[in-house]
Every structure is written in C-alpha cells, then in structure tokens.
Structure 1
C-alpha cells in the first residue's frame, strides 16, 4: 500500500470512529503497521485478552475480514471469538488487488443481554455493557458506509469484479481472436485440447500469468463455439474447473479444500447471468487453486479455526470428534489439528476439555446440582474422568473448587451484612 493511501485510510478510520462511536481500525494486509499508527487494542479487546479464556487473533481477525469482504461485494460482517460483531470493508490498489481495509468493532448488536452469553468475567461484562448496542439494520448501514469510503479511497470497484476489471481487456482480445480463427477454420474447429494440456502444466508449475493467458484462450473458445449461449457454456465451464482442480491437487493443493471450492462453484453457477460473471468466477477460482498449491503455512486459516471453536462451544455437551470438525471446515483432520494447535496453543481434545471445564465452573456454583450431574451436563463420560480433567486444568478437584468458591461467597455475603 502506498504511503498516501495509508494516510487516507488512517484519516477516514478516525472520521468513521467519530461518526459511529465505535473503534474503527485501519488495516494493512502487509506487515506494515507504521510507527505511531501501530494498532493498539481497544477497551473490549484489552479486557478480552486479559480475562477471556478463548483468546483472539487480534489484527489477523481484521485482515481475514478484509479478505472475505474483498471476495463478497465489499462488506463482511462476522463474529469475533467473544461473540461480538466485526464489520470490515476492503481496500484495493490501482490493479484491483487487495491491500487492506477498514474494520469496525468489536461491537454489540440487538439487546445488550444477548451479548453476554459467552462472557463470564464480570470486568469484561461491565466494559461490554457500557459499549453502544446497535440494531442489525444500523450495522448493515455502517458496513455500506465503510464500503463506500474504501471504494472512494481505492478508486476501484468492490467485489468479485474488482480484481478482474483490469484483466477484462485480455479476455476480450482473446474472444476477438477466437472469432477470427473460427471464421478461417470452420471445417476443423474443434476443442483446443493442446491448450488444456498446457494449462494443466502451467497450474502444476504455479505459473500464474501463463495459466491466465491459456485460460483466456480456452474461455474464448468455449464462448465462441457455443455462440455465447449461457445454458450451453455452463456445463463446459464446470468440466474445465474440474480439470484445473485436478492439476492443482497434483501440484500439492489439499484435496478437501479443492473439493470444497469446486462444490461452491457448482452450487453457484446457476446464479450467473452473464459471460463476465462466469469469467470472473472461473479466473478467481483458478488463481485460488494455484495459491493453494503453495505451502499451507502461508494460507490464511483463522476462519477454519474459528468455525471449529464456535462449533465446540455450541456442542460441548455431547461427544465431538476431530472427524466431524474436519468435515465442518472442509480440511483434513491432520491439517486441522496442526493449525488449531498453532492458533489456540491446545490440541483439539485439550481445547474441548478446557471449554467443558469452563462451563462446569459455573454449574459448580449451583449447590442443587451434584458433581455427577454436572459432569454429564458438560459432556464428560463420567464423574471420575471429569474429576481427572478438572484437576489437570484447574489444579484442584471439582469438589474442592466448589468448597473454595462457597467460602468466598459466604465471606462476601457476610461482609455485605456488616
């Protein structure tokens, strides 16, 4: 991102913060957090870091939001690990490539009490309760304004068309050349299998520019040979993306990730109403597949871990397997285990037990529940295993914890009555 653009992002982030009354953060997709403008967590994030058991991804959560907003028409509204709202709008450079954005939040939505479901620390509850709470319609309006601001700074159209805009001329030239070729060679006008073979080689070799040229030539053939008839073109494109995906897998892309992307393309292809939309999606899909052939350490995976964490928090009462988490996040279980440990510091089984123990602490304050009942309510397969895990994480047995907390409550109540 250029220095001038970064200054603009910082300036408008401050203006938006004044208007909205919430923290608005300038985001740079690179490592640049320049000097005095280095991001410092706001009150909620600082309290969350100190008190919240689940932790957060900090600036990476904002960067991931900008990536998703870039993919989906300029706005992305999501939940932070604490369950509060994040709004992000992307910023593109003069070539249409993502370079950063503006993020707002975390902030509350709806009724204030609805935002406390996963917040147990009283200090954090107080800070969140003192924050403004917005209706869903206003949050959507905030996102629209942020998107308009980043679009103004960029000078580039948001959304799926953004990154394709500057490459459209190359495809049009390829279509024009293909029309000439068809006119000159009407008798032997057949599918360019040699180009497809070269495209597979380019994808396997991770040669992005060469692959783009070859893809344009093949797309041009498909469009011209089918007289720009969308109904006839869509099955041909589906076949082509399968060919590209197989080449990507050969080059090292994860098969589960690749299959998930292809399935998404197939699920959405009926929605496309123009040659331009089809071209955009096919081009972006190929570029993402090529990107997945590189080292997976460089792939943004915070959203995968976030989905797994949210699923665990919602389903801790029952048995959860690594296999079902892998199916949920569309990655293989070995890779999921690796990135989960890297992001959270715990293995998946450890994290599940940590969530269950945190939930059990609240129930242990209820004297009418037995420890056996609490173990069952929190997903443990028996009191003895519950006691073992609880002692490993907390440093004392559930019974001892209940007694210690009971003594503290008694002393507090006694002090209040003096």
Structure 2
C-alpha cells in the first residue's frame, strides 16, 4: 500500500470512529507491522488480552475480515470468539488487488446482557457490557458506509466476486432473535423440528426465498445453542445438509449428483474457520440443490463452467488437474467433465491445451524465445508434446507458425514503408 493511501486509511478510520462511536482500525494487508501504527491486542480490543483461551486472533481477525470482505465485494460482518461483532471493508490497490481495509468493532448486537450469557469470566463480562451496542440494521448500515469510504479511497471496484448470494444482515437478525428466544424460554429451548419440516417442504416446492428464511432461522438456532463453538456446530450442519439434499431428491434432483455435493461439503467442512464461511457454503449448497429440482437435464451450469474456465486461464502455466477444478467448483469431476463439454464443446484437457496454444502464439512472435522456452512458459511438459498439440490445433508446427507469421509481419512492415 502506498504511503499516501495508508495516510488516507488512517484519516478516514478516525472520522468513522468519531461518527460511529466505535473503534475503527486501519489495516495494511501487506505490512504485518502496520508501519508506524502497530497495535498490541489490548489496544485493539480490551477483551483480547483476557480471552486467549477463546482463540482470539487479535489483529489477524481484522486481516482475515478484509480478505473475506474483498472476496465477497465490499463488506464482511463476523463474530469474534466472544460473540462480539466485527465489521470490515476492503481496500483495493491500483491493480485491483487487496491492499488492506478498515475494521470496526468489536461491538455488541442488541442488548449487552444478551451477549455475555455464555461468558462466565466477570472481567470479560464487564468488558462486553461496556461495548457499544447496535441493532442488526444499523450494523449493516455501518458496513455499507465503510465500504463506500474504502471504495472512495482506492478509486476501484471492491473485490472480484460481487456481493454474495444471501444478505448477511438477515442472518444477523435471525441470530439476534434466537438469542432473545433462548433468554426468554430456556426450559423449552429444543431443536426446531417444525422449522426443519417446513424447510423440507420449501425445498421440495422450489420456494427459494422461503427456504432461505427458514435456513437462517435453523442456522441461528444451531449457532446460539452451541455457543458459536465450531467443533460442535459442524456435525449439526452436516446433518442439516443431508436433510436438505433428501428433500431435493424428493423434488426430482439426481441422487448421484446430490450425494456428490454432500460428500464435497463433508470433505471440506474441516477447512472452515468461521460460522460466516459455514453459512455461505450451506446457503450456496441449498440453492444449488433447489436449482437441481428444476428440470435437471435442462439446467445451464454457466457459473460452474465460468469458474473453471477463468481458473484455467489464470493458471495455464502450471499443471491443472480435473480434481483441482472439481474442488474449486464444488461438484464431482465426472459431472464437471460432462457439463464442461456440453457448455464449451471441448473436454477439460482439450480446453487447457487450447488456452496454452493461444498463449504460445503470442510468444512465438518474440524471436528471443526458443521453442523449448515457450513450451515451458505455457505449461507444456516438453517441446515434443508442445509441437504435437500445437500441430493438432493450429494445423502446423510452432516453428512453421513462427516462420509464417514472421513473413507476414515483414510484408506488412514493407508495405507500410512504401
């Protein structure tokens, strides 16, 4: 991050802190020391020094928040290990890459008393009770303002993915309502089986919006009842996605494909480090399963194929496997191969070679690069294989292509000089 940009981030962080009445921290993603502004844990959040046993990340929580906000185009609202809210907005550099951002919090959502029921340390209870408290709607509004400010500072669009598919404030509202419900009715606070039944009906009926509301309510119950403990939450979510998948199968989705998606979720669930990541995955999975119930054979899978194509274009220089692409797009490899061929007209290996050959054509115009060097730069394993593939796609060898293009360039240059 440039010195001028960093000064702007510090200045606007102070302005936002004055407006919100909340600690706002400038974050420099590329400088772990934060230049001349290095914060110790207790200077960022009074609770940080007291809750090490909760696994608090300190400044790393803000950096992680900036990464996720950049990933999802502008705002990321998360919960710290104590259940306090963190708001982050990303800052892009002149190339569009993540440079840092602004983080606000920690703060409470709703009433202070609702936020420390599961905290038994009196010191931490006091710290949490003294934290600023806001309604979920105001927290979302703060995030929108922060995102607008960081966008103004950087002058480029946030992130690469666009605002993600579920509104985060809706889940925050559901969590807040669930906390109140637990407080008011602890004796009969049991798993909402009626909501699960309604969710199954909504999935079978293809009622996407209703299903999302019900999913948020069930997620809120799981998070609150398990005190935001990821280790306890993950098995519950695995059970929930199985319930959703069976409802999708009842509505006509292909059982083999839904089972493959569930297996992909189970294989990756250990990688998730926050309930926000779990929520995103679960929501995406449910929406894909509902989509599969709409005349499955005719569904266009442009998003999956687009992700695979973009990944190939960005990584053609190195070895790319179908397993790697399947993990990226969250479908199994045989199914990915089928829809990729249907959408592009090429198999995945063929498409990878086509991209590499197109890139090699440009390099063949550079006379200072040998055929061997070009083959390596474009991801081919050896000159002979490069020549074989190039001839199959272009109809001539790389050497012949270079010679022909050189002649054309000479004739064009000669004509321009006449």
TM bracket (short chain): 0.3 to 0.5
324-333 or 67-76, larger mean C-alpha shift: 67-76
1:125–1:289 Cα change, 3 Å: same
Instruction: State the Cα distance separating 1:103 from its structure 2 match.
Output: 29
CA distance in 1, matches of 2:44, 2:341: 25
Deviation at 1:411, TM superposition (A): 2.3
- Name the CA shift for 1:131/1:95 in 2 (closer, same or farther; >3 Å): same
Quick check: 207-216 or 138-147, which moved more? 138-147
Cα distance, 1:222–1:81 mapped onto 2, change above 3 Å: closer
Unaligned stretches of 5+ in structure 1? none
- 8 Å Cα contact 1:64/1:302 also seen in 2: no
- CA shift for structure 1 position 354: 1.2
SS in 2 for 1:36: coil
Counterparts of residues 141-152 of structure 1 (less than 5 Å): none
Aligned mates of 2:169, 2:64 — CA distance in 1: 30
CA contact (8 A) 1:95 1:163 kept: no
* Cα distance in 2 for residues equivalent to 1:84 and 1:396: 64
CA shift digits 1:324-346 (9 cap, x unpaired):
11111111222222332233232
Shift in Å, 1:35: 58
- Post-superposition Cα deviations, 1:1-55, rounded to whole Å, max 9, x if no partner, equal 9999999999999999999999999999999999999999999999999999999
Classify the secondary structure of the residue corresponding to 1:413.
Answer: helix
Q: CA offsets, 1:114-158, max 9 Å, x none? A: 999999999999999999999999999999999999999999999
Measure how far apart 1:240 and its partner are.
3.8
Listed one character per residue, the Cα deviations across residues 53-99 of structure 1 (whole Å, up to 9, x for unaligned) are 99999999999999999997999999999999999999999999999
Provide, for residues 308-366 of structure 1, a one-character-per-residue CA deviation record: whole Å limited to 9, x for no partner.
Answer: 11221222222222221111111122222233223323222221111111111122222
Instruction: Tell me, yes or no, if the aligned pair for 1:25 and 1:103 is still in contact at 8 Å.
Output: yes
Cα distance change, pair 15–258 in 1 and its aligned pair in 2 (3 A): farther
Deviations 1:144-191 (A, max 9, x none): 999999999999999999999999999999999999999999999865
* TM-score, with structure 1 as normaliser: 0.44
**For the structure 1 residues 308 and 370, does the alpha-carbon distance in structure 2 shift closer, same or farther, using more than 3 Å as the test?**
same
Deviation per residue, 1:367-417 (Å, 9 max, x gap)? 333323322322223333322222222222222111111212222333444
Output the CA distance in 2 between the equivalents of 1:140 and 1:231: 28
Change (3 A) 1:114 1:357: farther
Count of aligned pairs: 418
Q: Relative to structure 1, is the Cα distance of residues 293 and 386 closer, same or farther in structure 2, using a 3 angstrom cutoff? A: same
325-334 vs 245-254, which moves further: 245-254
> CA offsets, 1:218-250, max 9 Å, x none?
799989999999999999677545532444356
Q: 1:122 to 1:2 in 2, by over 3 A?
A: same
C-alpha distance after superposition, 1:296-316 (max 9, x if no partner) = 445453222222112212222
- Aligned in 2, Cα 1:13/1:354: closer, same or farther, shift over 3 Å? farther
> Distance in 1 between the 2:412 and 2:130 partners?
25
CA distance in 1, matches of 2:279, 2:374: 56
3-state SS in 2 of match to 1:102: strand
Counterpart residue number, 1:9: 9
Moved more, 13-22 or 407-416: 13-22
Q: 1:157 to 1:322 in 2, by over 3 A?
A: closer
Alpha-carbon distance, 1:285 to partner: 6.9
Q: Tell me whether 31-40 or 285-294 shows the greater mean CA deviation.
A: 31-40
Q: CA RMSD, aligned part only? A: 19.6
Contact 1:256/1:332, CA 8 A, preserved across alignment: no
Unaligned runs of 5+ in 2: none
Q: Which moved more, 1:314-323 or 1:242-251?
A: 242-251
Question: Is contact 1:341-1:348 (8 Å) kept?
Answer: yes
Q: Secondary structure at the match of 1:195?
A: helix
Other structure's SS at 1:87 match: strand
Say if 2:87 and 2:105, in contact at 8 Å, map to a contact too. yes
Aligned-partner Cα distance in 2 for 1:126–1:364:
68
CA contact (8 A) 2:96 2:159 kept: no
Give SS of 2:186's match: coil
Q: Following the alignment from structure 1 to structure 2, what is the Cα–Cα distance between the partners of residues 81 and 190? A: 24
Between 294-303 and 107-116, the greater mean CA deviation after superposition: 107-116
Q: Alpha carbons of 1:337 and 1:146: their partners in 2 closer, same or farther (altered >3 Å)?
A: farther
